[in-house]
Chains A and B, each alone.
Chain A
Amino acid sequence: MSGLNYEKILSRTVQDITPSGIRKFFDIANTMEDVISLGVGEPDFRTPWQIRSAGIRSLEAGATRYTANRGLESLRRAVADYVLRKYAVEYDPASEVLITVGGSEAIDAAIRAITEPGDEIIIPQPSYVCYDPLVRLAGGVPVILPTKAEHDFKVTPGELRALLTSRTKALILPYPCNPTGAIMEKADLEAIAEVLRDTDILVLSDEIYAELTFGGKSHVSPASIPGMKERTVTINGFSKTFSMTGWRLGYACGPAPLIRQMTKIHQFAIMCAPTTSQYAAIEALERCDEEVARMREEYDDRRRIMVAGFNRLGLSCREPKGAFYAFPCIESTGMTSERFCERLLYEKRVALVPGTAFGASGEGFVRASYCYSIEHINGALARIEEFLKSLKK
Chain B
Amino acid sequence: MEDLRPVDRKILKLLEKDARLSYADIATVVGLSEEDVRARVDDMERAGIIRGYKGVIDWERLDSDGVSAIIELKVTPKAGLGFEEVAARVAKYPEVEAVSLMSGAYDLNVVVRGKTFHEVAYFVAHELSVIDSVTSTATQFVMRRYKEFGVNLTEDEPDGRGQISL
Do A and B interact?
yes
Given A46-B157, A301-B14, does the pair A39, B25 have CB atoms closer than 8 Å? no
Task: List A contacts of B21 (CB < 8 A).
Answer: 374
**Minimum Cβ distance to chain B for residue A342 (Å):** 12
A15-35: contact bitstring with B at CB < 8 Å (1 yes, 0 no)? 000000000001001101001
Given A46-B157, A301-B14, A374-B18, does the pair A30, B163 have CB atoms closer than 8 Å? yes
Q: A37 contacts B164, CB within 8 Å?
A: yes
List B residues 112-166 near A (Cβ within 8 Å).
157, 159, 161-166
A263-298: contact bitstring with B at CB < 8 Å (1 yes, 0 no)? 000000000000000000000000000000000000
Count contacts between A and B, CB distance < 8 Å.
50
Q: Does A208 contact B (CB under 8 A)?
A: no
Q: Does A351 contact B (CB under 8 A)?
A: yes
A301 to B10 alpha-carbon distance, docked (Å): 10
Q: A308 contacts B164, CB within 8 Å?
A: no
The bracket for how many chain A residues form the interface is: 20 to 34
Task: List B contacts of A41 (CB < 8 A).
Answer: 165-166
B8-23: contact bitstring with A at CB < 8 Å (1 yes, 0 no)? 0000001000100100
Q: Does B33 contact A (CB under 8 A)?
A: no
Q: A35 contacts B28, CB within 8 Å?
A: no
A308 to B31 alpha-carbon distance, docked (Å): 11
Given A40-B161, A46-B157, does the pair A357, B25 have CB atoms closer than 8 Å? no
A32 to B25 alpha-carbon distance, docked (Å): 29
List A residues 338-393 near B (Cβ within 8 Å).
351, 353, 357-358, 374-375, 378
A137 to B165 alpha-carbon distance, docked (Å): 22
Task: List B contacts of A230 (CB < 8 A).
Answer: none
Q: B165 contacts A39, CB within 8 Å?
A: yes
**Minimum Cβ distance to chain B for residue A309 (Å):** 8
Nearest opposing residue in chain B for A37, CB measure: B163
A118-134: contact bitstring with B at CB < 8 Å (1 yes, 0 no)? 00000000001100000
Out of A40, A178, A305, A378, which one reaches B162, CB within 8 Å? A40
Which residue, A42, A46, A305, A374, has most C-beta atoms of chain B within 10 A? A374
Q: B166 contacts A128, CB within 8 Å?
A: yes
**Minimum Cβ distance to chain A for residue B58 (Å):** 18
Task: List A contacts of B163 (CB < 8 A).
Answer: 29-30, 32, 35, 37, 39-40, 351
Which residue, A26, A301, A351, has most C-beta atoms of chain B within 10 A? A301
Q: Does A116 contact B (CB under 8 A)?
A: no
Q: Does B101 contact A (CB under 8 A)?
A: no
Q: Does A304 contact B (CB under 8 A)?
A: yes
Given A374-B18, A374-B21, does the pair A301, B29 have CB atoms closer than 8 Å? yes
Nearest opposing residue in chain B for A352, CB measure: B164
A358 to B161 alpha-carbon distance, docked (Å): 20
A173 to B31 alpha-carbon distance, docked (Å): 32
Q: B28 contacts A357, CB within 8 Å?
A: no
Q: Does A73 contact B (CB under 8 A)?
A: no
A191 to B85 alpha-carbon distance, docked (Å): 70
Q: B166 contacts A30, CB within 8 Å?
A: no
Task: List B contacts of A40 (CB < 8 A).
Answer: 161-165
Q: B165 contacts A42, CB within 8 Å?
A: yes
Q: Does A188 contact B (CB under 8 A)?
A: no
A157-200: contact bitstring with B at CB < 8 Å (1 yes, 0 no)? 00000000000000000000010000000000000000000000
Q: B164 contacts A305, CB within 8 Å?
A: no
Task: List B contacts of A46 (CB < 8 A).
Answer: 157
A237 to B157 alpha-carbon distance, docked (Å): 25
Given A42-B161, A46-B157, does the pair A353, B29 have CB atoms closer than 8 Å? no
Nearest opposing residue in chain B for A367, CB measure: B166
Known interface pairs A40-B165, A374-B25, A375-B18; 10 further A-B residue pairs with C-beta atoms within 8 A, sorted by A's residue number: A26-B164, A30-B162, A39-B165, A41-B165, A46-B157, A301-B29, A304-B29, A305-B25, A305-B29, A351-B163
**Which residues from chain A sit less than 8 Å from chain B, CB to CB?**
26, 29-30, 32, 35, 37, 39-42, 44, 46, 128-129, 178, 301, 304-305, 308, 351, 353, 357-358, 374-375, 378
26 examples of A-B residue contacts, CB within 8 angstroms: A26-B164, A29-B163, A30-B162, A37-B162, A37-B163, A37-B164, A39-B162, A39-B164, A39-B165, A40-B161, A40-B162, A40-B165, A42-B161, A44-B161, A128-B166, A129-B166, A178-B166, A301-B29, A304-B28, A304-B29, A304-B31, A305-B25, A305-B29, A351-B163, A353-B164, A358-B166
Q: Name the 9 nearest CB pairs between A and B, nearest first.
A: A39-B164, A37-B163, A351-B163, A308-B28, A30-B162, A29-B163, A301-B29, A29-B164, A40-B161
